[in-house]
Amino acid sequence: MTLEEEVLLSLRPSEEEQAHINDVARRIMDLVESSGHVRAMVVGSVARNTWVRGDKDLDIFLLFDPSLSRERLEEEGLALARDTAAAFTGTLVEKYAEHPYINAHIEGLDVDLVPCYRVESAGKIQSAVDRTPFHTRYIQEKIQAHIDDVLLMKQFCKAGGVYGSDQMTEGFSGYLCELLVLHYGGFRPLLEAASRWRPGTLIDIEGHRTKDFSEPLVVVDPVDPARNVSASVSLSRMFEFVELARGYLERPSIEFFQRANARVLSQEELDRELKARGTHIYAICFDTPPYIEDIVVPQLRRSTAAIRSLLERNDFFVNRADCAMHPDRCMLVFELFVEDLPAVRRHIGPPAWNAANAEKFISKYEDSRHLELFAGPYIEDGKYIVEIQRPYTRAEDLLRSHQVLDVGLGRHVKRTMEVDYWDMHRDDECWSEGFAAFLSHFIRYESPGMRIRRLVKGIEDRSE
């Protein structure tokens, strides 16, 4: 038995799992269609038989007549989805994508009930979710011979931490995994091709692309020539996958299909790590804005980048920065090479031969009474220089100041910080039980391929 055949034994859903999910799906669909004017359709990996054992996700779309107004679709669709879910469970919540839908926990499954339009073709979609049934039909027609390859690909991506098109992961969706397997003709051929990927790789299965794309990986949607299925894949996730592919081809191991639980540092261990590094971390924490992850996470990234720029403009140079979103709290974390600076700051002005700008510079600094000028203006290597008072000599003071609110934060992040303020923590004080795993990953950061490479080498060394 090959390694991949061994892995597949644990990936294929059991007959009991299949019977259960199909039974729940059928009963939900029957109830939806008993309304008499709406059709129901199972979409996603369950419909395509490409779900991995243990997955609990069931997506059912409620297909309404396309003549219905958008407002009526949202109103009637949400009401039907809520009533349907309530017939099976009391555990349901309203969520939002392009329009609202219902998420419910029904008999051990995580069920999404999503209203959409029953359009004739993908070219007539009225909302983004209308495209999904066409994805399902496209894959169903072609995937049968490659289901095992898709299971391997999905588990490979999950174990490598690159699976998921959500804003925080920026990785490979299930649909993208299926398309890549179809395009390359299998799991192994896909890895061999990916090991040679470059930024700008273009895959157009149907040869019908109608626009140019700027993302590092472009997989043109077979049902929509103007959409890039891999638009969510960041450059980092793309090449983490490339690294994983190269590593597996060079040294196949079951470790590439098993998601290891990284060791979480205690507060004392975090303190020791920071002392050994000689750096300092600062964390800004605030209440999570009351919006879905797809809205909040991009704003967290924008805010992290803006505060990093603020720190570096003030000469507090940042090694790395990252952000995390939990249901109740968010954290932005920055690792600084230095946290204290001298009072004097060197400011370089225009070249002396630029008479107009030189005069403006001299005029600005000739009166030192209010500018706390230490030295200058003077000429060095042909340019005017002044040595002036640094506004912040401690990173802590800068991060506690209201300057943080004036640097282009995400709109909802800024509003939350203005209303509820924010907490600022330093070094091991950043540690909390909720963010311990995030901080441990931040401090002991390594690519997924390197983690597995070290793990495999350790196993081989112990067996010798």
425-448 per-position pLDDT tens digit:
999 999 999 999 999 999 999 888
Contacts of the segment 214-223: beta carbons below 8 A, 24+ positions apart: 219/176, 219/179, 219/180, 219/183, 221/131, 221/135, 222/138, 222/179, 223/122, 223/131, 223/134, 223/135, 223/138
Element (H, E) at 443: helix 436-443
Dihedrals phi, psi of 379, to nearest 5 degrees: -105, 130
The answer to whether the beta carbons of residues 167 and 234 sit under 8 Å apart is no
Dihedrals phi, psi of 138, to nearest 5 degrees: -60, -45
Using CA atoms, how far apart are residues 23 and 108, in angstroms rounded to an integer?
12
Using CA atoms, how far apart are residues 418 and 408, in angstroms rounded to an integer?
13
Using CA atoms, how far apart are residues 379 and 386, in angstroms rounded to an integer?
9
Walk along the chain (464 residues) in steps of 10 and give the mean pLDDT of each run: 92 95 96 90 94 93 91 91 92 79 93 91 82 93 95 96 90 96 97 97 95 96 94 96 96 90 90 95 93 88 96 95 94 96 92 89 75 84 91 94 90 88 92 94 90 78 62
Amino acid identity at 313: R
**In this predicted structure, what is the pLDDT of residue 371?**
62
The answer to whether the beta carbons of residues 55 and 110 sit under 8 Å apart is no
**In this predicted structure, what is the pLDDT of residue 428?**
94
Q: Where in the chain are all domains bearing CATH 1.10.1410.30?
A: 144-257
**In this predicted structure, what is the pLDDT of residue 368?**
58
Would you mind telling me the total number of residues written for the chain in this entry?
464
Q: Where in the chain are all domains bearing CATH 3.30.70.590?
A: 267-340+393-443
Dihedrals phi, psi of 352, to nearest 5 degrees: -65, -25
**In this predicted structure, what is the pLDDT of residue 336?**
97
Q: Whose CA is closest to 222, among 231, 209, 232? A: 209
pTM over 0.85: yes
Domain 267-340+393-443 -> CATH class: alpha beta
- CATH of range 344-389; options 3.30.70, 2.160.20, 3.30.420, 2.30.29: 3.30.70
* CATH, range 144-257: 1.10.1410.30
Strand partners, 283: 333, 425
The two beta strands, 201-203 and 217-221, are: parallel
Strand partners, 340: 394
Average pLDDT, the chain: 91
| Helical H segments across 345-424, by residue range | 355-365, 395-400, 411-420
- CATH of range 3-128; options 3.30.450.20, 3.30.930.10, 3.10.450.50, 3.30.460.10: 3.30.460.10
**In this predicted structure, what is the pLDDT of residue 364?**
84
CA atoms within 13 A on the CB side of 223: 20
Using CA atoms, how far apart are residues 343 and 346, in angstroms rounded to an integer?
10
**In this predicted structure, what is the pLDDT of residue 160?**
93
- CA–centroid distance for 378 within its chain: 49
Please identify which residue in the block is written with the tokens 């079951």: 254
Other C-beta atoms within 10 Å of 395: how many? 23
Strands across the sheet containing 100-106: 39-43, 57-64, 109-117, 100-106, 92-96
